[in-house]
Amino acid sequence: MWGVTELLDPSRLGALVVASVVLIAVPGPSVLFVVGRALSHGRDVALLTAVGNAVGCYSAGVLVAFGLGPLLERWDLLFQLFKWGGVLFLVWIGVQAIRHAGPVGEGDADQVAGTSSRRKAVRDGAIVGFTNPKNLIMFTVVVPQFISQDAGDVPLQMILLGLVPLIVGMVCDCTWALTAATARGWLTRSAKRVTTVQRIGGASVIAVGASVAVSS
């Protein structure tokens, strides 16, 4: 019976950390989505979105570990439904941000800080993370390269190794969220710029949907 230390060989683990940093540090759909949320709704929503995105990404990774990846690869229709569901959801979020753009009053600020809105931020992030086709690539192409066949229990190795891109991605997304939220704070000091900034955030989210739509 192999222990966790045998399943997670330090040399393979280190190599996966490097690969994850290289692949995830470059801004992609998740980063742009989080930045868009930061510009539209501020720091707290962006950070919760980043957490939700990480949960969604890892959930997809767990399903890949138990066979969803090969199923999506074989059934193109299922993959397309998976992909376009995420695209439509992104576009919907972006459109809502643009429609409701405007100065936030005290009552609205309290509502944004409410429990339901926090849950919604996590939920939205999770849906986007789960339906991002790039996660399929990460967990079917990248992570398997660092699995040891000799160690056995491949699904468990996938689940454990999947924590690496999860942590790297969440740190990266939260960093971008804080940076964008800081920029938003400066930009929105003028009430006239609030609507413009929020619309830019919504447009950024729509752009993420478009980038996912044209990706193979």
Distance CA 188, CA 66 (A): 46
Distances (CA, A) of 77 to 69, 81, 215: 14, 6, 16
- Domain boundaries defined on the chain: 38-214
Distances (CA, A) of 179 to 34, 43, 215: 11, 9, 27
Give the CB-side neighbour count of residue 58, counting CA atoms within 13 A.
18
Helices (H) and strands (E) in the chain, counts: 12, 0
Token pair for 7: 């399943």
Query: Is the entire prediction scored with pTM above 0.75?
Result: no
Instruction: Please answer whether residues 129 and 30 qualify as being in contact, where contact means their C-beta atoms are separated by less than 8 angstroms.
Output: yes
Distances (CA, A) of 203 to 50, 52, 190, 194: 18, 21, 20, 14
With tokens 């849950």, the residue in question is 119
Cα-flanking dihedrals φ and ψ of residue 104, to 5°?
-100, 120
Per-residue pLDDT of the chain in tens (216 residues, 90 and over written 9): 445 555 667 777 888 888 888 777 666 777 778 888 888 788 899 999 999 999 998 888 888 777 755 555 565 676 677 668 767 877 887 787 677 666 544 334 434 445 557 888 899 889 888 887 777 777 777 787 777 767 667 778 888 888 998 999 899 889 989 988 888 777 666 656 666 666 776 777 677 677 667 765
Instruction: Please answer whether residues 62 and 134 qualify as being in contact, where contact means their C-beta atoms are separated by less than 8 angstroms.
Output: no
